[in-house]
Amino acid sequence: MSLNIAAKEVKPLRTNFGYTARRVGENKPASRYQEAVYDIQPTCNFHYPPSWEPDKMLFDASRTAIVMQDWYSFTDPRQYYYTTYVAARAKQQEVMDSNFELIEKRNLLQGVPAAVLQQIREVLIPLRHLEYGANMNNQDICDRGYGTTITSLASFNGFDRIGMAQYLSRIALLLDENEETTLLAAKTAWLDAPVWQPLRHAMEDTFVLDDWFEIMVAQNIVLDGLIYPLVYERFIPALTAQGGGTFLMLTQFMNEWYGETVRWTNQLMKVTAAESPANAELLSAWTSQWVARLEQAVLPLAQLAFGENAAAQQVAEVKQELLARLAKQGIKV
Amino acid sequence: MAKKLNMRKRYELLTRGLGWEPTYQSKEKVFSNESYEGIKITDWSKWEDPFRLTIDAYWKYQAEKDKKLYAVMDSFAQNNAHLNLADATYVNALKLFIQGVTPLEYQAHRGFARLARQFSGEGAQIACQMQSLDELRHTQTQIHTISHYNKHFNGMHDPFHMHDRVWYLSVPKSYFDDAKSAGPFEFITSVSFAFEYLLTNLLFVPFMSGAAFNGDMATVTFGFSAQSDESRHMTLGLELIKFLLEQHEDNIPIVQGWIDKHFWRAYRVLALVSAMQDYMLPESPMSWKEAWEIYFVENAGALFNDLARYGLRMPKYHEQATAEAEHLSHQVWGTLYNYAHAASMHFWLPDEKKMDWLSEKYPNTFDKYYRPRYEMWAQMAKEGKRFQNGGLPQLCQVCQVPMLFTEVSKDDPMQISYRSSEFNGEKFHTCSDGCKDIFDHEPEKYVHAWLPVHQIFQGNCGGAAIPDILNWYHFKPEDGGDYAGSADETRWKAMHGETTGAASSDTESAEEKAAA
């Protein structure tokens, strides 16, 4: 079909959808991000009360104690909607694929000292279960949260966690030449070994929190804010000196992922705290409560990763980094 | 040398044992939605993962698909390819789609997130989470596809605001609210099985083949791009049903009840699609009746033959739906025509060519019942007495379609079908045995329905006069009414360099273009 060049009238009638025009202005074009996220969640005139929570509406801002005049005050600094999200991850997975391929092809794990491999088996692989739990929490935020700019990021975040759990599984299969020994041992350790129990216990306590924003703080701010720096910024790089540099490549995704994630969680905390002193107080109360709980919970893991003597110092440092970062967003603990 | 893993084994190992087994909190508390519907799951590990798609493969494939899709969208917009449509009347199908369907994709996105949190088996959990993300994709790609049309045609400018408020959109909205307010197993039976598995072709064919037949390449591309996701969703729907039935025999009557209910609910939503398919498309790929025969009677018939060994039978009242196929689109379109002044899309009377097509497709009913009606309305319009309904229709308490369906299966197709039930001393009206059954089974649920007409009378919709209500809907004067003389028509003609001329010249130019 050819273009009708005889067309007389092709000047657009309008620049925007009404729902984006109300936010960006009538004659200012909206970006694809804005079209894809602003105000697309239902807000009113629901037909039936949810059987799973009859005292609330299907979409209900009162599922958190956080109060926002406008739940779309927060927007993602990365401007992720579905397509930009999968495009970014597709690039990262390509890199990861070639990392895995190279290591497999060149047999790069062969030169790694057994002690390092043992460290990986014990410290890193069980984290696949932690990622799975983090996914559950983020699916929960996507389900019960309010406002698409927030809930869609929880959806992406949860998806990333399963992706990372699968990367960790691939590392385990690589270590064992496709036998499942490490996977099984990691699960047993996760369920029974004392080192993981405080963490697993804390995770289960986050699962049953009523307030989805508290889950956001406990999981995506505090727990990630301790675990990721400890494991991917400290533990893995430290293995390089012991001949485990390959694992930097095998966890490249996780490291980059965290750096990227902090951008939106910072922004979310900043916008939410700036809304009202009540929000700021709530956020700092949740933060201090979960920091207190989780710094204890990650300590045994830090001991396993860094040794008895260095562990407390490592945890104290990442905690300070986290609190300093949150202070910049207006959350004082 | 590492041992080789086939795809199935490899996928199994990657997700092996991830399902959470709580010990510090009770399982009932952590997965609080899993048991209250009475469904018995004895062993989640029996879940056979239907896709075995790893997350990294998903990112890769989906990014490739989207790259192509957005390239088509961009070139469509750049070339003003809407000028190549068969006719601007076609765009009304897109108005119905963005107002009525796209918001449902969003609801599905959030609904599947709940399942992804609440199912304790990792196989089903991950499948639901993938679908949740797909549904977000569909919402957003539909917005982006239709964004260009919104710039050139009326009625599509505020779809999400409308979906929460407008009378005819409460039909799809209440259907999804129904599923979403139910427990997770009912939700997935409704959406994945009753809708996506049983009936999805009846939505997909009218819209996507309709787009193909009418020169809308952007929507066609979207449709094809979504199809590979949809086939995953259909597989999930079937896998879920089989899984539930194999897990425990007590599940069978529960699941059958849900299939009966949600088949009928979804079928009533599709009544709107039937009207669009038979009347809105300038060039129709097939009639509603033909689509129903192929995609429901034949396909679902074969499916339920397979499912009989699990103890499932065809959904209740499917014979009624089949009998109604001769009447459905005509009854709905006639009603929409009556209320064209209160819609954010255009309706019109079928021209001679369309009526001949309808006679051919509906030899038993069209000339006998519906052609005379259209001819009378055409005559009235000619005399300046365009027929429109100034009152507000009574709505069915369950499906929320105005009471327009007739006693087709009682062989009395000119008698409007009314049913009613008493609950807590009040009377509730339904449109059919199917809807009455649904009401009677859960009256305490359906009394909550946000019925647009009741809400208008209660003063909750912007005011008492029609213009106030339309304003509250964010409808603009140019959004509704007849197509003839509409701003869309005038503009379409201007787009093609025409300033005058009757509707027939449009048809001709459309045919010329189709021939080219």
pLDDT tens track for B235-263: 899 999 999 999 999 999 999 999 999 99
The token duo for B476 is: 């603009």
- Beta carbons of A83 and B103 less than 8 Å apart: no
pLDDT confidence of B510, banded at 50, 70, 90? very low
Compare B10 and B117 and report the one with higher pLDDT: B117
Rounded CA gap, B307 and B314, in Å? 9
Instruction: Give me the pLDDT at residue B204, please.
Output: 83
Instruction: Give me the pLDDT at residue B16, please.
Output: 76
Contact by Cβ (8 Å): B156, B99: yes
Section A107-130 average pLDDT? 96
Looking at CA atoms only, how far is residue B422 from chain A in angstroms?
19
Contact by Cβ (8 Å): A131, A162: yes
Contact by Cβ (8 Å): B439, B428: yes
Looking at CA atoms only, how far is residue B141 from chain A in angstroms?
8
| DSSP state for residue A189 in the 8-state scheme | H
Contact by Cβ (8 Å): A82, B56: no
**Residues sharing a CB contact under 8 Å with residue B310, sequence separation 6 or more, in sequence order:** B241, B242, B245, B246, B252
Looking at CA atoms only, how far is residue B369 from chain A in angstroms?
35
Rounded CA gap, B40 and B42, in Å? 6
The token duo for B216 is: 């809308």
Looking at CA atoms only, how far is residue B177 from chain A in angstroms?
6
Rounded CA gap, B462 and B451, in Å? 15
Contact by Cβ (8 Å): B148, B77: yes
Domains in chain B (CATH in brackets) are 48-152+164-483 (1.10.620.20)
Which of B62, B117, B143 lies nearest to residue A35, judging by beta carbons?
B143
Strand partners, B482: B347
Task: Please check whether residue A17 touches B, CB under 8 A.
Answer: yes
Closest to A330 in 3D by CA, of A261, A260, A276: A276
| DSSP state for residue B416 in the 8-state scheme | E
- Going by CATH, does the domain composed of A95-328 fall within 3.30.9.10? no
Closest to A263 in 3D by CA, of A314, A306, A307, A224: A224
Place of tokens 């503009």: B491
Task: Please check whether residue A45 touches B, CB under 8 A.
Answer: yes
Rounded CA gap, A17 and B95, in Å? 13
- Beta carbons of A142 and B113 less than 8 Å apart: yes
pLDDT at B503 over 80: no
Instruction: Give me the pLDDT at residue B49, please.
Output: 80
Rounded CA gap, A134 and A221, in Å? 11
CA torsion through residues A87, A91, A96, A102, sign: positive
Compare B218 and B508 and report the one with higher pLDDT: B218
Task: Please check whether residue B64 touches A, CB under 8 A.
Answer: yes
Domain ranges (residues) in chain A:
95-328
The burial of A276, by beta-carbon neighbours within 10 Å (0-12 exposed, 13-18 middle, 19 or more buried), is given as middle
Nearest CA in chain B to A182: B13
Looking at CA atoms only, how far is residue A213 from chain B in angstroms?
16
pLDDT confidence of B499, banded at 50, 70, 90? low
pLDDT at B509 over 50: no
Instruction: Give me the pLDDT at residue A9, please.
Output: 65
Contacts of B5 in chain A (CB under 8 A): 173, 178
Contacts of B164 in chain A (CB under 8 A): 42-45
- Beta carbons of A162 and B1 less than 8 Å apart: no
Rounded CA gap, A165 and A170, in Å? 9
Rounded CA gap, B107 and B129, in Å? 14
Section A276-280 average pLDDT? 98
Q: How many CB atoms lie within 10 A of CB A113?
A: 12
Contacts of A201 in chain B (CB under 8 A): 24
Instruction: Give me the pLDDT at residue B504, please.
Output: 40
- Beta carbons of B170 and A47 less than 8 Å apart: yes
Q: What is the DSSP annotation of B103-165?
A: HHHHHHHHHHHHHHHH--SHHHHHHHHHHHHHHHHHHHHHHHHHHHHHHHSSS-S-HHHHHTT
- Beta carbons of A45 and B153 less than 8 Å apart: no
Contacts of B79 in chain A (CB under 8 A): 3
Q: What is the DSSP annotation of A219-278?
A: IIIIIHHHHHIIIIIIIHHHHHTTT-THHHHHTHHHHHHHHHHHHHHHHHHHHHHHH-HH
AA letter at A187: K
pLDDT at B322 over 70: yes
Contact by Cβ (8 Å): A54, A70: no
pTM, to two decimals? 0.96
Place of tokens 């074969």: B302
- Beta carbons of A143 and B103 less than 8 Å apart: no
pLDDT confidence of B418, banded at 50, 70, 90? very high
Phi-psi label, residue A39: left if phi above 0, alpha if psi -120 to 50, beta otherwise: left
Closest to A198 in 3D by CA, of A158, A237, A168, A226: A226
Nearest CA in chain B to A84: B63
Instruction: Give me the pLDDT at residue B304, please.
Output: 95
Instruction: Give me the pLDDT at residue B386, please.
Output: 96
Task: Please check whether residue B178 touches A, CB under 8 A.
Answer: yes
Contacts of B21 in chain A (CB under 8 A): 191
pLDDT tens track for B353-403: 999 999 999 999 999 999 999 999 999 999 999 999 888 999 999 999 999
Rounded CA gap, B273 and B264, in Å? 15
pLDDT confidence of B507, banded at 50, 70, 90? very low
Rounded CA gap, B479 and B344, in Å? 5
pLDDT confidence of A8, banded at 50, 70, 90? low
Q: How many CB atoms lie within 10 A of CB B98?
A: 26
Contacts of B113 in chain A (CB under 8 A): 139, 142-143, 151, 154-155
Instruction: Give me the pLDDT at residue B514, please.
Output: 41
Put simply, the chain A residues between 63 and 122 with a CB less than 8 A from any chain B CB are 81-83, 86-87, 89-90, 92-94, 96-97, 104
Q: What is each CA distance from A281 to A210, A292, B367, in whole angstroms?
A: 18, 16, 71
pLDDT at B461 over 90: yes
Rounded CA gap, B141 and B147, in Å? 10
SS (H, E, C) B319-358: HHHHHHCCCHHHHHHHHHHHCHHHCCCCECCCCHHHHHHH
Q: How many CB atoms lie within 10 A of CB B72?
A: 18
Which of B15, B18, B177 lies nearest to residue A46, judging by beta carbons?
B177
pLDDT at A134 over 70: yes
Number of residues assigned to chain B: 516
- Beta carbons of B110 and A132 less than 8 Å apart: no
Put simply, the chain A residues between 138 and 157 with a CB less than 8 A from any chain B CB are 139-140, 142-144, 148, 151-152, 154-156
Contacts of A142 in chain B (CB under 8 A): 110, 113, 116-117, 132
Rounded CA gap, B89 and A29, in Å? 26
Contact by Cβ (8 Å): B282, B271: no
- Beta carbons of A83 and B137 less than 8 Å apart: yes
The token duo for B492 is: 């379409």
Section B460-473 average pLDDT? 95
pLDDT at A118 over 60: yes
- Beta carbons of B21 and A191 less than 8 Å apart: yes
Instruction: Give me the pLDDT at residue B188, please.
Output: 97
Task: Show the CA angle centred on residue A272, arms to residues A270 and A273, nearest 5°.
Answer: 65
